Structure 1
Amino acid sequence: ALSVAAGQGVFSLGRVQTPTLVMICSRYLENRNFVPVKFWQLKAHTVSGGIFFNVQSTAKWEQQPEAIAALQRVKDAGQLSVKSVERKEASQEPPLLYDLTTLQKEANTKLNFSADKTLSIAQSLYEKKVMSYPRTGSRYISEDVFDEMPERVALLEQYPRFAGYAAGLDVAALNRRNVNDSKVTDHHALIITENLPGELSKDERAVYELVAGRMLEAFSGKCVKDVTIAVLSAGDTDFTVKGSVMKSAGWRAVFGEQETGGDEEAANLPPLQEGDCLPLSGVDLLEKQTKPKPLLTESSLLAAMENAGKELEDAELKASLKDAGIGTPATRAAIIETLFARQYIVREKKNLVPTDKGLAVYRIVRNKKIADVEMTGMWETALAKIEAGSMDADTFRKGIEVYTAQITAELLLVQLSVANGETCSCPKCNNGRILFYPKVAKCSNVDCTLTIFRNKCDKQLSDKQIVELVTKRKTGLIKGFKGKNGKVFDASLVLNEQFNVGFSFSEKKAKPKK
């Protein structure tokens, strides 16, 4: 229906594909339209027991004069007094084993692999019998599989990267956090098999090491640290600092990873006591600004798909999407690839950014049921009732048919418009308006022949450039055209009296004679 409304090209929708596109578009627009707000904080420098460290103000000032006044009061105080010191032992459980989605997220973050590429590699490792079945939604293993883990850990003593750690891991006291028969679905979590890998490609080895390393992490002990949180004061301003000392690396020793603290965290703090007075070595006024939510990457999109439904208010719908999200571990990569194939999104470095076409579809469907996670929740609830025998499958089917007819009727009433809400009328017939497609822009009037191809001498024209060409009959200077001889040139485009597109070259000014 959307393709018919558009008049040309393929515009696909789907109960998972469309909410996923909406996630990408809404985050992109939120990020692009974000207006940063400035604020100020103080950072003070001090020393105790020969250890220099910094503390940061708990207050954030939205007005610079107020921050400057606080800065002066801190300077006038000349010292920092310790108001409170909290010491505690903090332990961090090892991460759970991978299911497919968490493996795809990790591979995207650490290796910059797409979800589809990770699935393909995982499938190859499975076929080579060195990794378990990849299309799993479970992060747990059963008791009988756990019985095989000492053997799998011992196998990694022969794998150079993990040999040292595997040899030192007590296989008689493996962490049982991942063992839960009730949470194992059709397939258990991703683990290595009893076969040591032979010849692997670079990418296959990278994914194998993620899975093998995560398996070692999952069966290791907790990471334990001594954490100190201190509050200091100067004038009427409180400052805070957090320090930590590793007692036992536990699972973090597998890859040797350390958590990175914020600007206010020190690796180590001196032994502070409440009531201590410390010298003020200096104080800085820091100008900062609020930051927008980042654009989605494949990793964060997979997480959003996995966690979709957590914001729903309806308890039954929320329960239907709990531990499931939208899509399945086996289909999420394909859904993302479909958005690429439909030219709804593109990659910019690691970020997922909607195209003009994707944004146009988003503006049409964003307030409709097909774009709503709630609809997926309703369907998942109905399917669960059918499985339990409390709903007739034919009733569900008839409901889907009614819904399909409604959404089709809605979509047939819409038209795709220019990205960013711009519209322009056709200068040739003065009746139609310009519609934008991936390869062309053309008049909506079927009797009008105005067509502008996006690709001009190896240069892809944007919607904005086409709007300028149609409304002003000439664009500004466009750089990067490539001639048949391979030479690159710059020119403006013009729409002549016959409504054909041509080039206009600016005349070079003659250099004045000396």
Structure 2
Amino acid sequence: MERAGSEDTDPDAERKGLGTPATRAAVIEKLVKGGFVERKGKQLLPTKDGINLVCVLPDTLTSPQLTAEWENNLTQIAKGKADPAAFMEGIEDMARELVKTYPFLSDDKAQMFKPEREALGSCPRCGSPVYEGKKNYYCSNKECIFTMWKNDRFFEERKVAFTPKIAAALLKSGKVNAKKLYSQKTGKTYDGTIVLADTGGKYVNYRIELSKKK
């Protein structure tokens, strides 16, 4: 943006208003803090959100010509050759028109700004990503019914919290070591291995494997 529309700009514009190094630095810092730009060495690179933002903004706002016009107007104001009130009125009019023309994002564009979820692992049935829900861990493939419920009776009876860490381990290797599993029969606790014993049915099954005593 340092040379945006420079061919149409007053020669003094780069020393005033939007074109100064100080103002550019402030704008860059806001973009970095907002997550739209990231620093890599001496380079400034747009993030995914930054690229998406440019995609959804009206062409009017992303045009270098607009920057050139504003720089020129601010330079003329600094020289006493333009009315600052008229300049601000023009910006307010433009803002009102933009809000009127673009009141909201379409559903498709709004999806671009949804935070990316981290998958816990791959579904053992279809290979699709498995995500954590409020009450379960579910396969993202709508045609697949693979679901591990957090309040599954298997875990509740053994007084084990079905955490994302346990779910991720089961998805990765099919089993996870667990300590202090509660035995309803003896009232005592023991250590064992929880094994994912999925048979492809509506509900996912589990079983316990005990370590062989030496």
- Normalized against structure 2, the TM-score is what? 0.49
